[in-house]
Structure 1
């Protein structure tokens, strides 16, 4: 069916971008993401608005209302929805995080508006979610022990290992709660990038697994 798509989900520094790049090299799949690596010159507003969001996030509750900051975040959500639904029936569409991760992060950052969130939740559901499991301590090391961490990846104004790890643990919990009604496969991040890409190919191409309501080739989502 046109409009069918899959979501690749995971906490920060789970390796999603590397896996998406590997899949783009290995397959003819369409990758939908608001990261610069996957945007061509036709979407300058997407990249620009991402930068504007971080400025609004820093001043949320002061110069800007939380709704204002959330409204900028919403542009990324709508962009991903549009990309997901514009895919060709001839090839799979793999969407980076969809609205699940942004919604969970907004809640953790205090940018909560249940009316807006209800609209996001009314968007079409993916055919399946593939979740990359990552230990929060490992993610902290991948961030250069906080050197690469941004304000939307930790609690408080300043990054610390404790603030980052708590945020990531809570982020995982909220994201998995958002996808509890969607067929979900979990892949351990201990595997290398090419192995993860192969596992994802197998999951997506397995009509039997997801058309029958099975949870695919990955591990079941932990309770």
Structure 2
């Protein structure tokens, strides 16, 4: 599908990669963008110039009522970008509780599932697309972000199932695999980091190329992916050496 004249919804649009998605969608001529965040006040800087293509939307992807309301309001969406994410950056065993793990699954797995279920009928009418922000940690586990890795692995499996189910209605489904980027969340991971624009450009290029698969976004991600393809166990062993810090 083409970005020009599309109607997009971006979750977690208030910062990081989500904010760059909004900027790049505008640059590529999107007709309307629903910019969604739990707290719409956090979107004030994004919409301060008064661009009428930007429509703020209060949305916590873990709240079924807000998801349903978003689907009613944004009934003209042609591109759903499931970008909102959460990372506790805890070990599976060393974490003080499982609260972070529950939150990661709620946001990173159940959130995209809930959003896609709600918007599937909308996308069936528009012949649209779903874009899910995943992670290279969908493929390998990082013990210092153990439960985040698990949530992203679940997100990858979900993305493939959604693609199969929505294929009959002509909905394109793209999953984006990327390593750490220069965002508030990515700052907790080791350098070097990619720029959010590298990731976003690759993702939207895939949408416009009618890709219906996972893509590896950015040169740094491609390097890690090639190492994974060449020696999955070797890469996992290397990742497994990065243990959570002991209190």
User: Shorter-normalised TM-score: what interval?
Assistant: 0.3 to 0.5
The structure, 1 or 2, with the larger RCO (C-alpha pairs under 8 Å, 6+ apart) is 1
TM-score normalized by the length of structure 2:
0.38
TM-score normalized by the length of structure 1:
0.41
